[in-house]
Amino acid sequence: MIASRGPTLEVVVEVPRGSFLKRGSNGHIDFVSPLPCPFNYGAVPHWIGLEGDLLDALVLGPRLPAGQRLAVPSWGAIVLTDRGLVDHKLVCCEHRPSDAQMGFVLRFFHFYAACKAMLNLCRGQRGRNACDGWCSAQFAIDSATPRDDRWRGPTVKF
C-alpha cells in the first residue's frame, strides 16, 4: 500500500464524516446514501481530475464541517473507475495513516465501486466501475489539470 507523504494540499470538505448526503463540487446533492460516509469527503479546488470534476480528496480523522478549507498532507490515492472514467481519491490526514486505516479505505472503495455500479445501472449509465487499488498522491496530482478561471463545473453529468 502507498503511504509516503505527498504534497500538502488545500481541501474543501463537501461531505462531513457521518453524513448521508453526497454532494458534488457544484453543491447539488448527487444522492442520499443508505450508509453514512466514513470519511470527510471533499475536493482540491485547484485541480481538475481525469473525469472533469475537481480532484477528490478524503480527510481521515474527526468530523469536519461542510465548507471547511484546510491544508493537509496527502499520503496516497485510491484509483477508482466510475463509468469507465478514472476518478482518483486523494487520501489526506495530518499524520501517516496506519495500516489498518489504509486497509479500511481500500475495502471501503471496493464496496463503493460495487454500489456505484448498481446505482449507475439504475440510472442507465454504462461503463466499468471498480476500485483499482492505490497509487501515489503525486501520480494522481500529475494526472490532473490545474484549474483556471474558465472551469465552470464538471463536463460529465453525474
Task: Give CA separation, 112 vs 73, 131, 132, 144, 147, in Å.
Answer: 24, 8, 12, 22, 27
Residue 30 has φ and ψ, to the nearest 5°, of -80, -45
Which architecture characterizes domain 8-146 according to CATH? Answer: Alpha-Beta Complex (3.90)
Pairing mode, strands 8-15 and 69-82: antiparallel
Residue stretches of the chain with pLDDT short of 50: none
The pLDDT of residue 21 is 83
The pLDDT of residue 16 is 96
Among the listed residues 36, 38, 95, the one whose alpha carbon sits nearest the alpha carbon of residue 62:
38
Among the listed residues 141, 100, 71, the one whose alpha carbon sits nearest the alpha carbon of residue 3:
100
